[in-house]
Amino acid sequence: WAAHRHGLDLPHYAVSIVRGRGIDANALRWLAARHDPADIVFVDGWTGKGAITRELADAVREFEAAGGPAGFSPEIAVLADPGSCVRTYGTREDFLIPSACLNSTVSGLISRTVLRADLVGPDDFHGGKFYRELADADVSRHFVDAVAARFDEVADAVDVRVKELLSADRAPTWEGWAAVERISEEYGIHDVNLVKPGVGETTRVLLRRVPWKILARKGAGADLDHVRLLAEQRGVPVEEVDELPYTCVGLIHPQYTRGATGADGKAVASR
């Protein structure tokens, strides 16, 4: 879009950040040696409850406190911000972004940080997993081309929408984080990391984890057809609720670790 609409050639980089482990400090030093840190913008697909938004702010602060080059903005820009966690976003609607369910096959076959001491040294960048075996299923270029093909037809609407956004109050309300904390307590989970808000995170819960139940906003309609299908396949109850800032929320069973995956692909019985 930057090249098509504005004639800009903007370099892109992938920088690892891991909840609880922080950001790749070596990558930040590399970037600072080649670009003015003030010109760098961190970009992500969507916000869930805003954990990475907070992690980034903490990581940039710790990086500078440890003597790293100053000037990196701790803010992040996203396509979708249903949790109301950032100031720069394309929409605050909760919609499914392809990388939430197709992962590496729409991301150049790169997915998941590798951060093991036996593989990554103190002077190395964080590692990344390359899914060579999925090359035949890779649709990364097709995805980009399909999006770019729509640029001209939405250009005028974008101009209008940008003006509206710039004049609106875009301050984060953290509405999503508050909802996650409330759900965690109401459902007896007592761990916000086991509450996965938004259609993207819910889809991932159903594909990867041990789902307990799905909360769906009343009236969400066809946008959640794939969630209902996956829930049916895995034997997970879908509970419709009011006053949900997201279209849906996936709950991981509190009796299992965060990385658990059911061997039979089924959920445990809901209480």
CATH number at residue 221: 3.30.1330.30
Residue 163: half-sphere exposure toward Cβ, Cα within 13 Å: 5
Cβ-based neighbours of 11, under 8 Å, separated by 6 or more: 35
Within this chain, do residues 100 and 227 fall inside the same structural domain, yes or no? no
From the CB of residue 236, how many other CB atoms can be counted at a distance below 10 Å?
24
Within this chain, do residues 49 and 120 fall inside the same structural domain, yes or no? yes
Q: What is the pLDDT of residues 171-207, one digit of tens each?
A: 999 999 999 999 999 999 999 999 999 999 999 999 9
Within this chain, do residues 188 and 95 fall inside the same structural domain, yes or no? no
How far apart CA 154 and CA 165 sit, in angstroms, is 16
State the chain's mean pLDDT as an integer: 90
Global pTM value: 0.85
Within this chain, do residues 199 and 152 fall inside the same structural domain, yes or no? no
pLDDT band at 266 (very low <50, low <70, confident <90, very high): low
Contact between residue 82 and residue 136 where contact means Cβ atoms under 8 Å apart: no
Within this chain, do residues 98 and 205 fall inside the same structural domain, yes or no? no
Looking at the predicted structure, is the pLDDT value of residue 10 above 70? yes
Within this chain, do residues 192 and 153 fall inside the same structural domain, yes or no? no
How far apart CA 112 and CA 256 sit, in angstroms, is 21
Q: pLDDT exceeding 90 applies to what percent of the chain?
A: 77
Q: Which residue has the higher pLDDT, 258 or 38?
A: 38
Unique residue bearing structure tokens 């035949």 = 136
How far apart CA 97 and CA 245 sit, in angstroms, is 17
pLDDT band at 145 (very low <50, low <70, confident <90, very high): very high
Within this chain, do residues 107 and 16 fall inside the same structural domain, yes or no? yes
Looking at the predicted structure, is the pLDDT value of residue 261 above 70? no
Q: What is the pLDDT of residues 229-258, one digit of tens each?
A: 999 999 999 999 988 999 999 999 887 655
User: What one-character DSSP code corresponds to residue 52?
Assistant: H
Structure-block tokens of residue 271: 């209480």
Within this chain, do residues 147 and 206 fall inside the same structural domain, yes or no? no
With b for 16 or more beta-carbon neighbours within 10 A and e for fewer, the 67-76 pattern comes to ebeeebeeeb
How many structural domains does the chain have?
Answer: 2
Instruction: State the residue range of the domain holding 24.
Output: 2-165
Within this chain, do residues 29 and 134 fall inside the same structural domain, yes or no? yes
Distances in Å between the alpha carbon of 263 and those of 80, 217, 234? 32, 29, 11
